[in-house]
Chain A
């Protein structure tokens, strides 16, 4: 691991240099909100941004992702579309980096998903630590996801006029290897880093009524709680909470046919466990017909099922589901209810 420093004055130069070597994706302003999108000019990059509408993990798991090229007249001519191009995700907040790490684990799990992993293997992540909570709903302090230990290539920490930069991987070091914008960190930089981290720690607050490691058991005990009924009455099953979540990965597969009626594409589309037909089978049986059951499933999948399978939560606490729910259903309130707060 190297410790480097990047002056903020050099960010435009860096953006131009990176843009020449790869597809550069970073936070951009979109009306009064922020999104991850391609950065072709330095002025498009908005590194001081609150939580984006969609998480950057969706760049690796795009909607309508082509999986198979089809010939309608010949099944044997089906060809996989496993594509990826060298991509740099710049300015990714720690919770979102961990969202990507979770998708990595799910898609690497047997059988590994070549479509996702090929794209992922060509992606470099330049993370950016938040100096203060970036959403009123985030749980990153409770979840410990406001800082990063691994899963990134480079990590930037704002020191006011400059960024402190950690390199984590060989790929990260290689990326900035010959660029003139970085210099080795000095003791003064390290001191500034210590102060920034102290301010940072002081600005985050716990939002939950109990420790997160109690969530799996607390939820299991609350399986038949009236909470789900109460939430289910308000939920509109609009699927927003799952579509904006960095770690949701449920999908559907559907064929798209071109106008020539000969060529087509089998595509993967985002799907949501909140959709009323998600668990319906032929004959009309629906295994989760009620919004209350679907909301419970969403939380259990994050905190119980993935905990049992992978030994970790699948909620990185980004706060998007709470912030964007049209029915004002807040994850932190639901968690607090089961934690007894």
Chain B
């Protein structure tokens, strides 16, 4: 970074709104999906763990969305096409294996991203420094469960294999450039792939087909193109807020 851009940054601390929305929406949407587990988790300890992760993500979302505007207006009054989250996080919970595969893929990415942002001096450094510690726990949680399910019983192995396979095509999108975010997507992708592959192998699972084979579709959530289940999710999330225009809660 040159001296002039550094100076300009300190003079005008205008956050990168597009980037704040992208990262904020990722956290908001995944938190919402995890919140759907409440009362349905396979074991009481996981009620606590999944809620913990959902709460961390919601906290991150609130900080990020507030950098871009009013958190509630952004969460509750935007249309589906205005959301900038990757498609991975909006995917329905499915069975516990699907939720864990989604967690593994996303938390590994988020940890790498936040570690990078925390090391810089941009608008997101403060948030990232705090969030990277939370996300380290999310990643550990996902890795532990990937091992248990992959290397548990025949049934769990098969379920985990299917989940990793089904969600794989949503992973490429995480490494696309995000407007306003100074990160090396390709660099993060390489480390991500190495890290996820190592966990999957340890869990006796095959690494799903990679980009080389052309099976790694990128998705376009960052451009506001989402998958069908997302509209329903938003309808549920926004309904009450929208039913009382201008009310405060």
Are the chains A and B members of one assembly? Answer: no
Q: Which residues of B contact A (CB under 8 A)?
A: none
- Name A's B-contacting residues (CB within 8 A): none
